[in-house]
């Protein structure tokens, strides 16, 4: 039951653009050290990026680095494309009555968005990135020292919230290492990523690879790897109690550790196991390394439990860890759910990297924007994860005129983003499943889920 409650669902991994053998397609490197996506015999070869782009990347053979794959770096725009764009601007994205249709193909291309972003936004400064690491690590140890000094029950709850938030900030920096936006040095990315993620019990390479899959398939009903919808068939196959728990807070906000161990129904494997369907053979050593680092952290926590007592360790580390998990699930969920207007999900030929990325949402977290490194500036990050987090705001401002109505302005937050909890509750009550058929689908509501016939 727990796997149904806490999972994010999914059916078949990556039949369209994935990179894995069998259920995963493979990466083929050409002689120019560029990669192109290919599918195995018997699968439907479909390249939603088009046939004309190339992405520079480093070799994946015995490499501690990060595969910067999540978005094409170059997209050729031909004169025919320009002519087409001229004819559909002001039309595409609009229904017959003139209303904006979020599921319609946009009147711009990925290359148009990229061209609008200043070149300096793509520059990665490893010293600046490391300065954020130092800032966050000092804050973590400083908070622990302060609460240990006072050891007062008036202080502990404040510490748990603050330290859990700082654990989440550490995760975001490790997330940047995983995308390669931390620096251009693969070794630095991997060492920093392992230290940051292992300290909060995240297997760095295991998570990095599955998160890459999420970015490559964002907005696809079946192929997405994170918070994608239950199909109506799967939803109706779940018993009533499990359905209720899955869409009742706080249970969905505790899902992340269970997802790391078992993924989603219909998808096999674990982020800790090198033979998981998540990974290709030449990623085996990376996964083993991450699992060993994770195990070493568990061993350190076990030692600290004996040294200071399990209750003290629970107060210093255990409760902040679960606050971090709730932050992670809250933020990642709200990047893909809860807009005032329904957002589309795609299948088949209707899906493309660009259209999927345009279904993501920016969120404003008030004071916490700076603490968690502007991860709420999410649309541009999803389209171009190579951009460092400290340039995302500027890149977003530059891209907004191109995005038009496909960019949903986030609701402004007060110092603390209390408004997001209302959005989360509303989404949990409304966004239950999508139809089994159709290539452009929207979340539907089960009016009987909470014992009422009222449908929102």
As a whole number of angstroms, the distance between CA 141 and CA 270 comes to 31
Averaged over 179-186, what is the pLDDT? 97
pLDDT greater than 70 at residue 325: yes
Among 2-6, 50-54, 217-221, which range has the highest average pLDDT?
A: 217-221
With respect to residue 49, please indicate whether it lies within any of the assigned structural domains.
Answer: no
Whether the ω angle into residue 350 lies within 30 degrees of 0, i.e. cis, is: no
CA quadruple 142, 144, 149, 151: dihedral positive or negative? positive
pLDDT of residue 265: 60
Q: Which run of H or of E encompasses 353?
A: helix 353-357
Phi/psi for 29 (5° steps) reads -95, 135
> What whole-number distance in Å separates Cα of residue 34 and Cα of residue 30?
6
Please count the structural domains in the chain.
1
Res 269 pLDDT > 70: yes
Q: Per residue in 427-454, pLDDT tens?
A: 999 999 999 999 999 999 999 888 754 4
Query: Is it the case that residue 278 has pLDDT exceeding 50?
Result: yes
Q: How far apart, in whole angstroms, are the C-alpha atoms of residue 220 and residue 358?
A: 12
**Is residue 430 included in any domain, yes or no?**
yes
Read off the pLDDT band of 228 (50, 70, 90): confident
Domain annotation covers residue 266: yes
| Domain-located, residue 115 | no
Average the pLDDT over 392-420 and give the result: 96
Q: Decide if 78 is inside a domain.
A: no
Tell me, what's the pLDDT at 96? 53
CA–CA gap between residue 58 and residue 67 (Å, rounded):
7
Indicate whether 323 belongs to any domain. Answer: yes
Q: How confident is the model at residue 420 (pLDDT cuts 50, 70, 90)?
A: very high
The whole-number pLDDT of residue 8 equals 40
| Residue (of 219, 223, 208) closest to 264 by Cα position | 223
Residue 450 lies in a domain: no
Q: How confident is the model at residue 28 (pLDDT cuts 50, 70, 90)?
A: very low
Q: What percent of the chain has pLDDT over 90?
A: 65
pLDDT at 84: 37
The predicted pLDDT at position 452 comes to 53
Predicted pLDDT of residue 107: 95
Confidence band for 4, pLDDT divided at 50, 70 and 90: very low
Q: Which of 374, 356, 354 has the alpha carbon at shortest distance from 365?
A: 374
Contact 274, 284 (CB under 8 A): yes
Helix (H) or strand (E) holding 441: strand 440-441
pLDDT band at 160 (very low <50, low <70, confident <90, very high): very high
In this prediction, residue 34 has a pLDDT band, given cuts at 50, 70 and 90, of very low
Residue 32 has pLDDT above 80, yes or no: no
| 47 DSSP assignment | -
Asked whether residue 47 is domain-assigned, the answer is no
Task: Please give the sequence-ordered ranges of beta strands (E in DSSP) within 8-79, or none if there are none.
Answer: 26-29, 34-38, 55-56
User: How much is the average pLDDT of 131-135?
Assistant: 98
Q: For the chain, what is the mean pLDDT?
A: 82
End-to-end CA distance of the chain: 27
pLDDT digits (tens, 9 = 90+) for 345-355: 999 999 999 99
Question: 428 vs 71, 352, 362, 440, CA distance in Å?
Answer: 30, 27, 18, 21
Question: pLDDT category, 82, cuts 50, 70, 90?
Answer: very low
pLDDT the model gives residue 237:
86
Mean pLDDT over 51-74 rounds to 37
Residue 300 domain boundaries: 2-13+122-441
């Amino acid at each position: 039951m727990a796997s149904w409650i806490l999972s994010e669902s999914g059916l078949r991994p990556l039949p369209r653009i994935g990179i894995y053998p069998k259920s995963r397609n493979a990466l083929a490197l050409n002689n120019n050290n560029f990669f192109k996506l290919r599918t195995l015999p018997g699968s439907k070869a479909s390249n939603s990026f088009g046939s004309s782009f190339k992405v520079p990347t480093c070799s994946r053979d015995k490499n501690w680095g990060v595969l910067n794959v999540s978005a094409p770096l170059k997209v050729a725009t031909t004169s025919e494309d320009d002519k087409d764009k001229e004819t559909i601007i002001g039309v595409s994205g609009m229904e017959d009555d003139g209303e904006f249709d979020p599921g319609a193909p946009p009147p711009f291309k990925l290359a148009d968005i990229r061209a609008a972003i200043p070149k300096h936004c793509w520059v990665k400064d490893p010293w600046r990135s490391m300065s954020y690491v130092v800032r966050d690590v000092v804050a973590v140890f400083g908070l622990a020292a302060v609460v240990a000094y006072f050891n007062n029950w008036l202080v502990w709850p404040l510490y748990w919230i603050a330290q859990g938030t700082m654990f989440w900030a550490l995760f975001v920096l490790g997330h940047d290492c995983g995308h390669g936006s931390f620096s251009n040095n693969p070794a630095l990315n991997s060492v920093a990523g392992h230290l940051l993620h292992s300290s909060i019990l995240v297997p760095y390479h295991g998570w990095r690879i599955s998160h890459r899959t999420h970015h490559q398939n964002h907005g696809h009903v079946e192929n997405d790897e994170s918070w994608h919808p239950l199909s109506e068939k799967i939803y109706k196959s779940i018993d009533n109690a499990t359905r209720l728990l899955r869409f009742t807070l706080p249970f969905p906000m505790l899902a992340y550790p269970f997802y790391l161990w078992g993924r989603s129904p219909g998808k096999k494997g674990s982020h800790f196991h090198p033979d998981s369907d998540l990974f290709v053979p030449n990623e085996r050593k990376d996964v083993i390394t991450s699992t060993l680092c994770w195990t070493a952290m568990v061993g350190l926590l076990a030692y600290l439990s004996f040294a200071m007592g399990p209750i003290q360790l629970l107060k210093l580390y255990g409760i902040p860890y679960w606050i971090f998990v709730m932050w992670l699930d809250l933020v990642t969920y709200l990047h893909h759910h809860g807009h005032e207007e329904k957002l589309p999900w795609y299948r088949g030929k209707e899906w493309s990297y660009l259209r999927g990325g345009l279904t993501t949402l920016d969120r404003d977290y008030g004071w916490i924007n700076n603490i968690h490194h502007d991860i709420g500036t999410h649309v541009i990050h999803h389209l171009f994860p190579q951009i460092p987090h400290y340039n995302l705001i500027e890149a977003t401002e530059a891209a907004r005129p191109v995005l038009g109505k496909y960019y949903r302005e986030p609701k402004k937050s007060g110092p603390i983003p209390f408004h997001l909890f209302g959005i989360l509750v509303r989404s949990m009550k409304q966004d239950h499943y999508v139809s089994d058929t159709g290539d452009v689908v929207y979340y539907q509501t089960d009016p009987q889920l909470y014992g009422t016939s009222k449908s929102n």
